[in-house]
Amino acid sequence: MNIVVCIKQVPDSAQIRVHPVTNTIMRQGVPTIINPFDLFSIEEALRLKDQFGAKITVLTMGPKMAEQALRKTLTFGADEAILLTDRAFAGSDTLATSLTLATAITKINETKPIDIVFCGKQTIDGDTAQVGPGIAVRLGIQQLTYISKIVSIDLDAREIIVHRCVESGTQVLKTKLPCLITLFEGTNVIRFGTMTNAFRAARYKLIEWSATDSGISDVSQCGLRGSPTVVKKVFAPSARTDKTIFISGETPEIISQTLIDTLFSSYPSLQKDLFDISSQGVSK
């Protein structure tokens, strides 16, 4: 199999601080990590490699610093790592990012046809969940998002069956390869790479592609120029002032009555809304 995994290096949001005075995000000194959602994709790709044998190429668009993230995926067991890095990419929104990645994937596909592209479900710094689907659309392949399980892959029939998480339950989907998959969190746990892979990662000579190398013909579609999204303002929401109300009582009846009274007194309109709903129910 030929697998491409797209990842992003992100600031560790657990350690991001908002400047106490200016209220802006302080990125300086914040450690960077592989976007946690991407780790599920990397591990799933590695499992397919264990099962079917595969070449895994990890792809990221980012500054030079993103090399750390790529190298780490090699420690886990990925085979190749490509860094798409160019001044022209700076300031990309999800539209421009998916264009850049899709173009590079197309180029990889020319050397050897790709079976599956994995992306993270979303990033923890942008949270849009748009890049994966964006790539799939640009490549004209099926997108399987929120996948909780790869049930089977039939390489001869070029078919894949997966479980997809939806709010009401699980969908069982079958589609043709090649396809793009994003994984639901918790699907697997990233492995701890072997010493051999750690050595390979440390010695690996990273592949770097500029916009031209990636096959992009019109750089005005990348980076800031190719990004219609505008960040108008960043702010820290003011702290919530609502206090937790503890509800206690001697018997379950008293507790539930107190709960209802407290709810209705806190949200006076609630009583009316509930009444409307229940009277509709009766009339039906």
Partner 1 sequence: MTEKFDAIVVGAGPAGSAAAYVMAKAGLSVLQLERGEYPGSKNVQGAILYSDALERIIPEFRDEAPLERNIIEQRVWMLTDKSHVGFDFRSEEFNNDKPDRYSIIRAQFDRWFCNKVKQAGAMVICETLVKALIENEHGRVIGVTTDRDDGDVFADIVILADGVNSNLARVSGYRNELENKNTALVVKEMHFLRSDIIQNRFNINEKEGVAIEVVGTLTRGKIGMGFIYTNLEFISIGIGCMVGDFQKGGLTPYGLLDELKEHPSVKPLLISSEMKEYSAHLIPEGGYNAIPKIYGDGWMVVGDSAGLVNSIHREGSNMAMTSGQFAAETVIALKKEFKSFSEHNLARYKIALDNSYVIKDLKKYKRMPNFLHKNRHFFTLYPELISEAIATILRVDGIDKKSKGKQIIRSFRKGRGLFGLIADSIKFVRAIR
For partner 1, which is the closer residue by CB, 17 or 112? Answer: 17
Among 157, 166, 189, 195, binds partner 1 (CB under 8 A): 195
Among 110, 192, 239, 280, binds partner 1 (CB under 8 A): 192
CB of 194 to partner 1, least distance (A): 4
CB of 191 to partner 1, least distance (A): 9
Ranges within 39-78 binding partner 1 (CB under 8 A): 75
**If DSSP states are collapsed to H, E and C, what string results for the chain?**
CEEEEECCEEECHHHCEECCCCCCEECCCCCEEECHHHHHHHHHHHHHHHHHCCEEEEEEECCHHHHHHHHHHHHHCCCEEEEECCHHHCCCCHHHHHHHHHHHHHHHHHHCCCCEEEECCCCCCCCCCCHHHHHHHHHCCEEEEEEEEEEEEECCCCEEEEEEEECCEEEEEEEECCEEEEECCCCCCCCCCCHHHHHHHHHCCCEEECCCCCCCCCHHHCCHHHCCCCCCCCCCCCCCCCCCCCCCCCCHHHHHHHHHHHHHHHCHHHHHHHHHHHHHHHHC
* 193 interacts with partner 1 by CB under 8 A: yes
Site string for partner 1, 199-218 (x = CB under 8 A): x--xx---------------
Ranges within 240-279 binding partner 1 (CB under 8 A): none
* 20 interacts with partner 1 by CB under 8 A: yes
* 220 interacts with partner 1 by CB under 8 A: no
For partner 1, which is the closer residue by CB, 21 or 157? Answer: 21
Task: By CB under 8 A, name the binding residues for partner 1.
Answer: 17, 20-21, 29, 31, 75, 192-196, 198-199, 202-203
